[in-house]
A and B are shown apart, each in its own frame.
Chain A
Amino acid sequence: MSDSFDDLRDLYQEVILDHGRRPRHARRLESFDATAKGDNPMCGDRIEVWVKLGTDGTIADTGFQARGCAISVASADLMAETVIGRSKADTHALFEAFREMARTGQCPHCDGALADPLERLEPLAGVHEYPSRVKCATLAWHALIAALEGGKEASSE
């Protein structure tokens, strides 16, 4: 795809703009088993995450409310999309792999069991070029992990 915004698209791919503009999972869950807030004091981004667990302990549903940049909202939405149906252990592993991708742009685990969700999260890998923006992409994940671990607050600091 070529347009007059080619020079701006490496970080802001269409999927990020789309999910940043129209997040599908930006809603508070009516009933939930865990919740946590995330706060990035450096830039003022804030997020609240709710999680509903299934009887088998997997994530049955998740939603969020976020106030922040396109990267942080899109990342929260893609996170929700990729963790629904996953166990806590899987979600942890996905978080670690995603965090490495956001920090380094590399994805050594992309061939493994998490190849599909990581491919979905791949458009966010561009943030590694902007160290100050990596936290925007990981904030929602920090909040989700805090919720799963029974915490109330997470900071991406």
Chain B
Amino acid sequence: MNVEAKISLGRPAVLDVARIREDFPILRQKIRGKPLVFLDSAASAQKPRAVIEAMREAMETQYANVHRGLHWMSERTTDAYEAAREAVAALINANDAHEVVFTRNITESLNLMAHSYGRGILKPGQAVLISGMEHHSNIVPWQLLRDERGIELRVVPVTDSGELDMDAFETLIADGKVGLVSMTHMSNVLGTYTPVERIVRMAHAHGAKVLFDGAQAVVHRRVDVQALGCDFYAFTGHKLYGPTGIGVLWGRRELLDAMPPFLGGGEMISSVAFERSTWADVPHKFEAGTPPILEGIGLKAAIDYVQQIGYDAIAAHETALVDHALARLGTIEGVHILGRAQDRGGVVSFALDRAHAHDVATLLDRQGIAVRAGNHCAEPLMHRFGLDSTTRASFAIYTSHDEIDFLADSLARVREFFK
């Protein structure tokens, strides 16, 4: 906690990585006797002590179920849980905390949209527009919807540089049939930021609403849903240094009000009779059952932590890391980096000549480096670039330049090893 205070007092333009690393107990671990170099934060980020402590403290001092008890514990816990909603609203500059729906993860947020908006608001004959760089969780729910409801699924292709083909976007949306554009804000494979403001302008001009998958983007860049002008925005807690088990769907109030419920059960009702039940107001209409209470409390601690560091420092740090990684990895013979978008965030995917991504990952692991290898839940994008798998290094606030140097040196060794 003291460390955080120092950070907030100092408000450094440049992020103090050494100090940040002290906040993450796990970074002291050794892997096979070597220091842990954790470059897999895009899959799930490590947790600062503030998050760990907030969840532990809640369990030890003020835990009960929320929104139902008339006793002290329940009221305190409800306050803490609802404070998390306020924290999310402030993080993304939502107009109203009631527009923030808690889910289990972003996959559930996107499924909520496909189920409730897709089946309740969209009509057969309309289309959903996604892109060729989506995570499977922003593909499969829409396929299920297409097959069940006759709602067309259209896909904006990806260019050789790993960016959205915006000419094709314009063509695909021109007939006015697209009811919803559901697109990533930042690719989990290429690191590409999509041109969100332009997407919103074009979509709205053709009568479509816009949902962004912000799972990666919200970690690296300040998100202001009102400035973006989008209609829905989804992200997950565990990539933002928070716990697993909590995701977010933000939507404009009037849109959420018009949507039918997703899951049924307790919490989401106003009254229940066997003939007919009525629904609670948003966001509770979409939050059936006991919610992720401790996870909400943990997410608030994570958001507070990120806000204290500040997105200016975070974005500057990660841009410097990506530039450094592209410079170092790009000069290793036989390394091919996927995508060369101008506007990109903290992930770098690459292929290595003569070496399969899984072998690369295992050999890096031998040296204490954690990376991801595989299709990154984005099989269509892999095939777009003629690959089955890549190795991916992803960066976080605790990633240092030294770690990237170590990755580059280790990768050069792997390259030699497979020569």
What mask results when residues 329 to 367 of chain B are scored 1 for a CB within 8 Å of chain A, else 0?
000000000000000000000000011111100110111
Chain A: minimal CB distance from B359 (Å): 5
Q: Tell me the complex Cα distance, A10–B363, Å.
A: 10
B388 touches A12 (CB 8 A): no
Chain B: minimal CB distance from A65 (Å): 14
What mask results when residues 386 to 397 of chain B are scored 1 for a CB within 8 Å of chain A, else 0?
001100000000
What mask results when residues 37 to 63 of chain A are scored 1 for a CB within 8 Å of chain B, else 0?
000001110000000000000000000
Stretch at the interface among A68-76, A83-91, A148-156: A68-76
Among B353-385, those with CB < 8 Å from A are 354-359, 362-363, 365-367, 373-375
B413 at the binding interface (Cβ < 8 Å): yes
Chain A interface helix/strand/loop/mixed? loop
B418 at the binding interface (Cβ < 8 Å): yes
B274 at the binding interface (Cβ < 8 Å): no
Q: Give the A-B pair count, Cβ closer than 8 A.
A: 48
Q: Which of A17, A21, A136 contacts B358 (CB 8 A)?
A: A136
- Indicate the size class of the contact surface on chain A: 20 to 34
Q: Which of A5, A7, A10, A12 contacts B359 (CB 8 A)?
A: A12
A34 at the binding interface (Cβ < 8 Å): no
- Indicate the size class of the contact surface on chain B: 20 to 34
A5 touches B413 (CB 8 A): yes
Contacts of A12 in B (CB 8 A): 359, 363, 417
B375 touches A17 (CB 8 A): no
Q: Tell me the complex Cα distance, A21–B418, Å.
A: 9
Chain B: minimal CB distance from A2 (Å): 15
Q: Tell me the complex Cα distance, A17–B416, Å.
A: 12
Among A1-50, those with CB < 8 Å from B are 4-5, 7-8, 10-12, 17, 21, 42-44
Q: Tell me the complex Cα distance, A136–B414, Å.
A: 19
Q: Tell me the complex Cα distance, A130–B357, Å.
A: 15
B359 touches A44 (CB 8 A): no
What mask results when residues 70 to 105 of chain A are scored 1 for a CB within 8 Å of chain B, else 0?
110000000000000000000000000000000000
Q: Which of B365, B388, B414 contacts A44 (CB 8 A)?
A: B388
B362 touches A133 (CB 8 A): yes
**8 sampled A-B residue pairs with Cβ under 8 A:** A5-B417, A8-B413, A68-B358, A69-B358, A70-B355, A70-B359, A71-B358, A130-B365
The 10 closest A-B pairs by CB, nearest first: A69-B356, A69-B358, A44-B388, A70-B359, A69-B359, A8-B366, A8-B363, A44-B389, A5-B417, A43-B358
